[in-house]
Amino acid sequence: MLEQVIYVFAHEWSPSDTLWLFLYVVPLLLPLVFFTVLPSLRNKRGTLLMLFSFFVALVQLALSYFNIFFGQDTASLYGWSYSRSIILLGLFHGAVGLGIFTCLLLGRLEWIKGILAVLALQALASGGLHLFEAFLNERINLTHLGPPLWHDILLAVTAVWVLKTSERGVVDVYYVPR
């Protein structure tokens, strides 16, 4: 099995896979780079959460577009038969993207945290599905071991890190009546 995985990465990786990896990973890492490079952003509370959620919303809307309008291509890429579940997945991504943008416009950072937590859980479930398909159903290919899997894992890890980092330094204020 390990030989098959090595063969897939050595012989099936193409420039288009590199492009997809770039398109999947850069929007997740770009806010972290901005936050690290620009020290003025670190002093403002909620900046990392807003930057990260903005780029995540863009990625979610792009995934929604591809799943809704090019669902047959998405299904064939994963080896699935085309069904309405691909469109439902696209609608989920669209709802998450629009929900994050709505929360950003309303300034509701707590709601964004909830949406990111749900999205991290969905990404972990999706990553688990990719691993299940690759190793238990023996569909060892880049569709299940390449950029989509890496995106799911990276999204879950960075979302949890951003949520933990945005909580740092928050002091609860309790009102005690006299």
What are the tens digits of pLDDT across the range 30-73?
888 888 888 777 767 788 899 999 999 999 999 999 999 988 88
Q: What is the pLDDT of residue 174?
A: 60
pTM of the model: 0.82
Alpha helices in 38-146 (DSSP H): 39-42, 47-69, 71-78, 84-106, 109-131, 142-145
Q: Are 140 and 8 in contact (CB under 8 A)?
A: yes
Q: Are 137 and 143 in contact (CB under 8 A)?
A: no
The token pair at 33 is 């780079």
Q: What is the pLDDT of residue 82?
A: 83
Mean of per-residue pLDDT scores for the chain? 84
List, for the chain, all residue ranges whose pLDDT scores fall below the cut of 70.
11, 43, 169-178
